[in-house]
Structure 1
Amino acid sequence: MTEAQRDRRAQLADNLAAVERRITDACAAAGRPRDAVRLIVVTKTYPAADSRLLASLGVTEVAENRDQDAAPKAEQCKDLPLTWHFVGQLQTNKVRSVVRYANYVHSVDRLRLVDALSTAVLRAERPELGCLVQVALDKEAGEGAGRAGAAPDEVAALADAVAAAPGLRLDGVMTVAPLAGPYAGDPAAAFARLAEIATAVRAAHPGATMVSAGMSGDLEQAIVAGATHVRVGTAVLGVRPPLR
């Protein structure tokens, strides 16, 4: 390992320790056990070398949001014991590639995507793909048109479709704190609303226990509201380089 690699590993270790303390403290404040929340490190825009360093530090779950970056990175890291989460807006023409490496897709937001994922999984003859319905809370107020995510009143039907689709497994729901609508600037309220939606989904589909919410700036509010998975990038890896 070069000196630069050692320095980067030490930096990542310090950042991971700080995030771990935040998660532990948030769980304690919420009266939840620490093992109720899993950390997914969002490695988008960062090289496979960082994924390798993270794995050496005990990270087991990583997330990507663009297939053109994720596919080669997953291939370079296929010898590592990593679980891959796809969290970005997913176009149907990228589905065949994504199902080659993703263990979970957090961004299922329309029926056409459900059909495309199911077809691709069956053709790939791979294990079931874990799917989360992405909830766009700004669409509850009629805003957010054209953005990723299903409106809250569309979630139940979409969850039913995922659960019925061959090759797919409905694992839960995901959201990002919205920038518009009644929950803008209030992640605690947004995540509380997601918790209500998650409870309704679980009532119909008891196995859909994942609640993916919270990022570097608002993971505490998400944990208080019941998030089971937090997606943290900047707080672990640093300020992101600009997208190419």
Structure 2
Amino acid sequence: MEQARKQVLKDNFLKLIEEIQEACIDCHRSPEEVQLIAVSKKHLAEDIKFLAQLGQKSFGENYVQEALAKQKELSKLSLDWHFIGALQTNKAKFVVGNFSLIHSIDRLKLAQALNKKALDKKIVQDVLVQVNIGKEPQKAGVLPEDLEALVENILKLPSICLKGFMTLPPYTQDRNKMRNYFSMLRKWKEKMEQAFGKQFPHLSMGMTLDFKEAIYEGATLIRVGTRIFGPRP
């Protein structure tokens, strides 16, 4: 890797970590409560390796085959892989056991496919339910009014463990609207905890443009790519 690329990655990463810590302090949260998922889709394995040397261990990928190839290339590193992209049911067999957390469960059929593969592997796969908080027809995610039924059915599956919720809110430059969408997901999480008498520890929300607003509203996982890596090739 060229020295100039290393310097860009290092500067971007350290500045981002500083801003995450500042946002946490601003809203009286501990920085330890927020985990950065570096979104590495379409970026080189050598970029991931360099960031791991700087201390970043959690990486998010959107495409199954690309992610598995990177995992193989970087198998000697102790990395925490998250699957954050849309997932087809027929790809479930490839992600179970290869990612610590799958962020994008949006339908029962997919959850059942993951459960079946996890049963075969004799493991429990951690997952998040993706909620279409803005009810945008072009986006994946369960609609908020259908969330409770989906959660109820997922909790019956023995080999996947629901850890919380993820969202991709509508694009807006209005900071108050950003916070409102994230607040809505937090409130739905609280409703589900009350309905089922169970804690769901994670809220995966916030990306390059809105991670601070997400932190203010309770995000535990933020998914940031462009801010670290620059534009995708």
Q: TM tier, shorter chain? A: over 0.9
Output one character per residue of 1:16-62: Cα deviation in whole Å (capped at 9) or x when no partner: 11111111111111111111111110001111111111111111110
- The residue aligned with 1:237 is 229
Q: 1:51 aligns with which of 48, 53, 72?
A: 48
Deviates more, 1:8-17 or 1:40-49: 8-17
Q: 2:191 aligns with which of 175, 183, 200?
A: 200
Query: Structure 1 CA distance, aligned partners of 2:197 and 2:10?
Result: 38
Which secondary structure does the structure 2 equivalent of 1:186 belong to?
Answer: helix
Is this contact kept in 2: 1:15–1:236, CA < 8 A? Answer: yes
Which secondary structure does the structure 2 equivalent of 1:101 belong to?
Answer: coil
Query: Structure 1 CA distance, aligned partners of 2:224 and 2:143?
Result: 24
**1:133 aligned onto 2:129:** yes
How many Å apart are 1:14 and its aligned residue?
A: 1.0
Query: Structure 2 CA distance, aligned partners of 1:15 and 1:184?
Result: 22
The residue type equivalent to 2:79 in the other structure is L
Is this contact kept in 1: 2:126–2:161, CA < 8 A? Answer: yes
Is this contact kept in 2: 1:202–1:209, CA < 8 A? Answer: no
Query: Structure 1 CA distance, aligned partners of 2:217 and 2:175?
Result: 16
TM-score calculated relative to the size of structure 1: 0.89
TM-score calculated relative to the size of structure 2: 0.93
Give the 3 Å change call, closer, same or farther, for CA 124–53 of structure 1 in structure 2.
Answer: same
Deviates more, 1:25-34 or 1:196-205: 196-205
The residue type equivalent to 2:101 in the other structure is Y
How many Å apart are 1:205 and its aligned residue?
A: 5.1
**1:39 aligned onto 2:46:** no
5+ residue gaps in structure 2?
none
Which secondary structure does the structure 1 equivalent of 2:137 belong to?
Answer: coil
Give the 3 Å change call, closer, same or farther, for CA 72–14 of structure 1 in structure 2.
Answer: same
Identity %: 35
Is this contact kept in 1: 2:134–2:181, CA < 8 A? Answer: no
Following superposition of structure 1 onto structure 2, how do residues 3-82 of structure 1 map, counting pairs within 5 Å?
4=2, 6-82=3-79
The residue type equivalent to 1:194 in the other structure is L
Query: Structure 2 CA distance, aligned partners of 1:184 and 1:206?
Result: 31
Is this contact kept in 2: 1:211–1:229, CA < 8 A? Answer: yes
How many Å apart are 1:236 and its aligned residue?
A: 0.6
